[in-house]
Structure 1
Amino acid sequence: MATTAFKGNPVHTSGELPPVGSQAPDFTLVGVDLDDVSLSSFGGQRVVLNIFPSLDTSTCARSVRKFNELAADLDNTTVVCISKDLPFAANRFCTTEGIENVITGSAFRSHAFAKDYGVRMSDGPLEGLFARSVVVVDEKGKVLYAEFAPEISEEPDYDAALAVLG
């Protein structure tokens, strides 16, 4: 179990992020079109996983906007924004905000992603949702970067996450 914070109060997660150097666990999430979104479907590409509690919070919305902006300049890289938000809500958000450079994935159908990536908050006011974190995976599925944000109510460290991509 990892520890992060929400507004300065400790929050525990259901596990740990996959360690740097390990093989990233495959996953199956639900895209806005209700089709599967899986890590293996991006074979041969680098993948940035932007994991967060909900698009209905200002910080999470800002992180999706920022990764959308950054993704436009990333070669051979897909950014997947992951939460438990329903695909309909993600589609509405992306359409309204003009988000076109990232893919959203909802974990509403399965608990496997939360278990395999250790991101489910096990206490605190957002218990059950995902802790803010970023995982970067290379073309062969190896984890290059993995970090829980120290404070869930703050944006992730974009520079540190993307620095591993060169």
Structure 2
Amino acid sequence: MANVTFHENPVTLLGSEIKVGDSAPNFSVLSNDLKEVTLNDYKDKVKLISVVPSVDTGVCSEQTKRFNDEASEVANAHVLTVSMDLPFAQKRWRTVNKVENLDLLSDHRNAEFGEKYGVLIQELRLLARSIFVVDSTNTVTYVEYVEEVSNHPDYAKALEAAKAAK
């Protein structure tokens, strides 16, 4: 498993680490209108999945806004942001921040995404900051588990991977 810290303290990630070349696990999360959403809902599309602990924190907010702004530059990919925030909080944050170019999804109900992608922090029941690019055949083409949860991911590499995916 990836070695991840939260404010420099080691944390335990539950689930299996995803690697490039793996088949992306299907998952069930909630949209902001409380509808179930799965990976299969994005069938035949490239997916850039941005994972954040909570959109109501500084780095997470910046990360989500950045991918929202960059989404139009990645015309072949659909951008998803997954967090443990309640759908109501995500919807409020989305409205206040005028985020319209990505899907903001909640894993709060059963942490299925977190466990299947190996990003559920056992000690905090939050998701570890990470990026996954999944191609149109649901093969993982890029993975970044950010070593320190409070740090930013490598935006350029993630966007480059999404643009290159078919």
Task: Give the TM-score normalised by structure 1.
Answer: 0.93
Report the counterpart of residue 104 of structure 1 in structure 2. Answer: 104
**Partners of 2:80 and 2:104 within 8 A in 1:** yes
Report the counterpart of residue 58 of structure 2 in structure 1. Answer: 58
* 2:21 pairs with 1:24: no
* 2:132 pairs with 1:135: yes
| 1:37-85 Cα shifts (integer Å, max 9, x gaps) | 2111111110011111111211101110001011122112111110110
**Partners of 1:28 and 1:37 within 8 A in 2:** yes
Cα distance in 2 for partners of 1:147, 1:63 equals 14
Aligned-pair CA distance for 1:143 = 0.0
Identity of aligned residues (%): 36
Report the counterpart of residue 119 of structure 1 in structure 2. Answer: 119
Aligned residues: 163
| 1:3-45 Cα shifts (integer Å, max 9, x gaps) | 2122222222113432111110011110011112211111111
The structure-2 alpha-carbon separation of the partners of 1:16 and 1:160, relative to structure 1 and needing over 3 Å to count, comes to farther
Gaps of 5+ in 2: none
* 2:38 pairs with 1:38: yes
Q: Which moved more, 1:11-20 or 1:93-102?
A: 11-20
| 1:92-137 Cα shifts (integer Å, max 9, x gaps) | 11111110001011012223212211111123xxx21110000110
**Partners of 1:2 and 1:16 within 8 A in 2:** no
Secondary structure of residue in 2 paired with 1:145? strand
Indicate the RMSD between aligned Cα atoms, in angstroms.
1.3
Secondary structure of residue in 1 paired with 2:25? coil
Task: Give the TM-score normalised by structure 2.
Answer: 0.93
Cα distance in 1 for partners of 2:112, 2:6 equals 24
* 4+ runs deviating over 3 angstroms: none
